[in-house]
Amino acid sequence: MNIDLSKISAIRLAYPLFHKDVGSVPDSPLKFNIGEINVKLACELNKIWHSRLPRIDWTNVVRNTYYVCYAAEYEGIYFAVAIWSSPIAQNKFKNGSGILELRRFAISPEAPHNTASRMMKVMIKLIKKKFPKIKKLISYQDVEVHRGTIYKASGWVAVSKSRGASWTTNKRKRNKEQTLAAKIRWEYNLK
């Protein structure tokens, strides 16, 4: 299947100076080039595709101890993005400095089936190499809109479920939440 690049936002072009008039959609996620991208681009791609949490400010990502962003690209067009950082509530975890949190994972509707599983597998390998001090990955699934299929397929373990809660307190006012849905925390041990 071909893509009309005039209908693709400029942000999705991996190589804007060298793009072709028509791109194509890969028929398999094995054809993607998966690699690091800069955080500002990752946040913009997330805004296009994320089903529930389109807003994430890049400054909220880079102020963490660790962070990295990945994208899946094919023939110069991005099809998926993931944003990782140290956990937001790192101090609430035993050995929180050895954990990396998948903050956002967003995939284009044109991406082939199993894109998420393939990208997850590659990202885990890249994270092990880039951050040898990281021992555990975590992510939170919004139970109102997702079933946890990506995590199950990738060997993650569901460890807890929490009610949705606001980050605003009497001492600190926060921006309006994008969702207050219950969440399941998934973990993946890097051994």
Question: What is the reported pLDDT for 175?
Answer: 56
Sign of CA dihedral 6, 18, 43, 104: positive
Question: What is the reported pLDDT for 18?
Answer: 57
Question: What is the reported pLDDT for 19?
Answer: 55
Question: What is the reported pLDDT for 2?
Answer: 60
CA distance 141 to 186: 8
Strand spans (E) along the chain? 2-4, 22-24, 33-36, 67-74, 77-85, 99-107, 136-142, 157-162, 183-189
Question: What is the reported pLDDT for 73?
Answer: 95
- Residues of the chain falling short of pLDDT 50: 22
Dihedral Cα 69, 70, 71, 72, nearest 10 deg: -170
Burial 22-42 (b: 16+ CB within 10 A, else e): ebebbeebeebebeebebebb
Q: Say if CB 31 and CB 74 are below 8 A apart.
A: yes
Q: Say if CB 126 and CB 132 are below 8 A apart.
A: no
Question: What is the reported pLDDT for 6?
Answer: 57
Chain segment 25-71, per-residue pLDDT in tens: 899 999 999 999 999 999 999 999 987 767 788 888 888 889 999 99
Domains of the chain: 2-138 (3.40.630)
- Tallying the residues shown for the chain, one arrives at 191
For strand 77-85 and strand 157-162, is the pairing parallel, antiparallel, or unpaired?
unpaired
Q: Say if CB 82 and CB 123 are below 8 A apart.
A: yes
